[in-house]
C-alpha cells in the first residue's frame, strides 16, 4: 500500500509571531521555519505503517517555496522514500492546496493520504476535508488511532466530548491529532542518507491546477492585549476580589 503524506512549512511553533507594522501580515523575515507539528505526526504515522509492513512506499509532498525542500528532506530523513515539491511562492489557500494534492494523488494513486489536522499558521483546519470532497474518498479527521484492516481503515477520532471510531473504505484520508503518536527525531546518518533520496519538483501549472482564491486578507492586526492584573496575597483576598470587585462568584 502506498501512503502519501502532506507536509507544510510554517513558522516554528516556538517563535512568538509579530504582526508587521503595515498590517499586511506577520513578520516572516529571518524567522525560523519548521515542519508543521501536525504534519510531523502524519510523517511518523506513515513511517510506522511502513515499519509494520502495511505501507510499501511513503511519499512526502509539500506545496511551498524552494526553501520547503528543507521540510521534505526532514521527512526523507525520518523515513519517507521519496518526496515531491509543488513549488510556488504564492501563499495559497486551503482549497488551492487541496486541488494540488488531488492532482498529485491522481498521479501517485495512494491508498492512504495523511495530513495534519491544521497548520499552526493559518489555523484553517480545511485541507484534508477538502481533499476528501475532491477525491471522493472518505475522511477520518482528528485521528488518535489508525488501524488498517484489509480494504478499510478504522480511525478513532478526537471529538468534543470524547472519541468516535469510524470505518473508512480505502483509499481514504486521515488527518492527525496530537495524540496519534509521538514523532521521532531524525538521526544524523539518516539525515545524510536523505540527501540522496529522490526529490522531484513540479509546479501547480505543470499539474494543471488553477490556484486563484475568492478570499482577500485586508489586514492583519495584533490582538487586543490583556494586561497583567494584580497579585493577591492570599485566598481570603482572592475570594474578596472575586466577590466584590469582579463580581463573578
Partner 1 sequence: MAILVIAEHSNSALGAATLNTVTAAKAIGGDIHILVAGENCAAAGEAAAKVEGVTKVLVADNAAYAHQLPENVALLVAEQAKAYSHVLTPATTTGKNLLPRVAALLDTDQISEIISVESPDTFKRPIYAGNAIATVQSSADIKVITVRGTGFDAAAAEGGSAAIENIAAGADAGISAFVGEEIAKSDRPDLTAARVVISGGRGMQSGENFDMLYALADKLGGAVGASRAAVDAGFVPNDLQVGQTGKIVAPDLYIAVGISGAIQHLAGMKDSKVIVAINKDADAPIFQVADYGLVADLFDVIPELDAAL
Q: Could you say whether residue 232 binds partner 1 (CB under 8 A)?
A: yes
Which lies closer to partner 1 via its Cβ, residue 150 or residue 162?
162
CB of 214 to partner 1, least distance (A): 4
Which lies closer to partner 1 via its Cβ, residue 206 or residue 217?
217
Q: From the list 158, 183, 207, 209, which residue makes contact with partner 1 (rule: CB under 8 A)?
A: 158
CB of 245 to partner 1, least distance (A): 9
Q: Could you say whether residue 162 binds partner 1 (CB under 8 A)?
A: yes
Select from 59-67, 79-87, 191-199, 221-229 the region that touches partner 1 (CB under 8 A). 221-229
Q: What is the C-alpha to C-alpha distance for residues 153 and 140, in angstroms, rounded to an integer?
A: 9
Q: From the list 1, 2, 12, 19, which residue makes contact with partner 1 (rule: CB under 8 A)?
A: 19
Q: Could you say whether residue 36 binds partner 1 (CB under 8 A)?
A: no
CA angle, residues 136, 52, 164, in degrees to nearest 5 = 50
Q: What is the C-alpha to C-alpha distance for residues 225 and 202, in angstroms, rounded to an integer?
A: 43
**Kind plus residue range of the DSSP H or E element containing 169:** strand 162-169
Q: Could you say whether residue 33 binds partner 1 (CB under 8 A)?
A: no
Which lies closer to partner 1 via its Cβ, residue 129 or residue 191?
129
Q: Could you say whether residue 39 binds partner 1 (CB under 8 A)?
A: no
Q: Could you say whether residue 150 binds partner 1 (CB under 8 A)?
A: no
CB of 57 to partner 1, least distance (A): 23
Q: From the list 52, 185, 223, 244, which residue makes contact with partner 1 (rule: CB under 8 A)?
A: 223
Q: What is the signed CA dihedral for 54, 60, 63, 64, rounded to 10 degrees?
A: 150
Using alpha carbons only, how large is the chain's radius of gyration in Å?
21
What are the start-end ranges of the H helices in 22-156?
A: 37-51, 69-78, 94-108, 127-135
Q: Could you say whether residue 214 binds partner 1 (CB under 8 A)?
A: yes
Q: Could you say whether residue 32 binds partner 1 (CB under 8 A)?
A: no
Q: Could you say whether residue 238 binds partner 1 (CB under 8 A)?
A: yes
User: Sign of the CA dihedral 25, 9, 181, 149?
Assistant: positive
Q: Could you say whether residue 139 binds partner 1 (CB under 8 A)?
A: yes
Find cell 511562492 and name the residue.
Answer: 89
Q: From the list 6, 131, 146, 207, which residue makes contact with partner 1 (rule: CB under 8 A)?
A: 131
Kindly report each contact of residues 22-30 with a partner whose C-beta sits within 8 Å and lies 24 or more positions away, as own/partner: 23/219, 23/220, 23/221, 24/217, 24/219, 24/220, 25/217, 25/220, 26/220
Amino acid at each position: 500500500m502506498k501512503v502519501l503524506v502532506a507536509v507544510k512549512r510554517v513558522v516554528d511553533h516556538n517563535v512568538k509571531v509579530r504582526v508587521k507594522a503595515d498590517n499586511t501580515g506577520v513578520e516572516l523575515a529571518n524567522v525560523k521555519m519548521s515542519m508543521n507539528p501536525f504534519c510531523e505526526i502524519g510523517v511518523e504515522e506513515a513511517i510506522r505503517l511502513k515499519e509494520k509492513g502495511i505501507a510499501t512506499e511513503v511519499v512526502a509532498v509539500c506545496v511551498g517555496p524552494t526553501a520547503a525542500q528543507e521540510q521534505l528532506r526532514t521527512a526523507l530523513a525520518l523515513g519517507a522514500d521519496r518526496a515531491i515539491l509543488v513549488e510556488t511562492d504564492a501563499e495559497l489557500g486551503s482549497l488551492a492546496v487541496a486541488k494540488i494534492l488531488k492532482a498529485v494523488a491522481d498521479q501517485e494513486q495512494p491508498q492512504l493520504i495523511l495530513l495534519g489536522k491544521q497548520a499552526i499558521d493559518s489555523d484553517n483546519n480545511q485541507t484534508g476535508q477538502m481533499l476528501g470532497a475532491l477525491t471522493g474518498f472518505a475522511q477520518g479527521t482528528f485521528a488518535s488511532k489508525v488501524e488498517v484492516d484489509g480494504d478499510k481503515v478504522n480511525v478513532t477520532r478526537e471529538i468534543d466530548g470524547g472519541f468516535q471510531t469510524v470505518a473508512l473504505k480505502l483509499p481514504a484520508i486521515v488527518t492527525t491529532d496530537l495524540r496519534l503518536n509521538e514523532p521521532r527525531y531524525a538521526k544524523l546518518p539518516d539525515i545524510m542518507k536523505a540527501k540522496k533520496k529522490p526529490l522531484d519538483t513540479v509546479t501547480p501549472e505543470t499539474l494543471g491546477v488553477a490556484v486563484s482564491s475568492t478570499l482577500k486578507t485586508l489586514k492583519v492586526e495584533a490582538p487586543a492585549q490583556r494586561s497583567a492584573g494584580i497579585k493577591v496575597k492570599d485566598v481570603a483576598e482572592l475570594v474578596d476580589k472575586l466577590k466584590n470587585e469582579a463580581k463573578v462568584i
